[in-house]
């Protein structure tokens, strides 16, 4: 399968939805985005590395990087390789002098390590097809990585059920313009479940 390279374009936190974070991956030289819900600790670990902060003591992901470096193991790339029931699965592709090994990892941990090692992030077409969101090409310039706090109005599943497919697509465009990726995930999932139900 052909790998598609991604990059972190945003890290989003919802004030109104406690412990809801999303890391948004963008297709390199493409318009698709892949939002992934992650935990607070992992969001912090990614933000610390993105902002190039240096805590006084190493965080868990810093410790892992130090451990790997001490034994001459390099993180070559991470691959978001599967999606099952809304859960993303990833692999760390590690390289040493003698061997290349793939290690199973939670996607949030893999991303935290990828930022620290500066290694590429990949996924496959079928994952982008089922979980990605297509952004409109409003300009040719690439958006910089941002860490945002998004305040969302509560949008229960029942509210989405009441909307037509056309209204859902319109709402998706609106929340993406506001960079409310948490809400966009719920809307995208509702659209996908309706398409599957046809």
Tokens 């590395």, residue located: 49
Domains, the chain, in order of start with CATH, read 3-152 (3.10.690.10)
pTM: 0.75
Per-residue pLDDT of the chain (198 residues; tens, 9 = 90+): 899 999 999 888 755 456 678 899 999 999 999 999 888 888 888 988 888 887 788 889 999 999 999 999 999 999 999 999 889 999 999 999 989 999 999 999 999 999 999 999 999 999 999 998 888 765 544 444 444 444 444 444 557 888 888 888 888 888 777 767 667 777 888 888 888 776
Going through the chain in order, the beta strands assigned E by DSSP cover: 3-14, 21-27, 32-38, 74-84, 87-95, 100-106, 121-124, 133-134, 146-150
């Amino acid at each position: 399968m052909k790998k598609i390279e991604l990059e972190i374009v945003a890290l989003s936190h919802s004030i109104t939805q406690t412990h809801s974070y999303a890391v948004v991956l963008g297709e390199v030289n493409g318009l698709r985005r892949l939002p992934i819900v992650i935990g607070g600790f992992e969001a912090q670990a990614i933000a610390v590395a993105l902002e190039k902060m240096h805590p006084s003591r190493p965080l868990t992901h810093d410790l892992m990087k130090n451990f790997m470096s001490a034994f001459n193991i390099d993180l070559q790339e991470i691959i978001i390789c599967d999606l099952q029931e809304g859960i993303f699965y990833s692999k760390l592709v590690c390289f040493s002098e003698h061997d290349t090994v793939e290690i199973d990892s939670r996607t949030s941990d893999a991303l935290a390590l990828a930022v620290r090692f500066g290694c590429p992030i990949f996924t496959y077409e079928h994952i982008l097809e089922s979980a990605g969101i297509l952004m409109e090409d409003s300009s040719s310039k690439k958006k910089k990585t941002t860490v945002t706090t998004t305040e969302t109005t509560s949008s229960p599943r029942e509210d989405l059920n009441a909307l037509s497919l056309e209204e859902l697509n319109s709402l998706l465009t609106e929340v993406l313009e506001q960079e409310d990726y948490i809400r966009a995930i719920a809307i995208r999932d509702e659209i996908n479940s309706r398409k599957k139900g046809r």
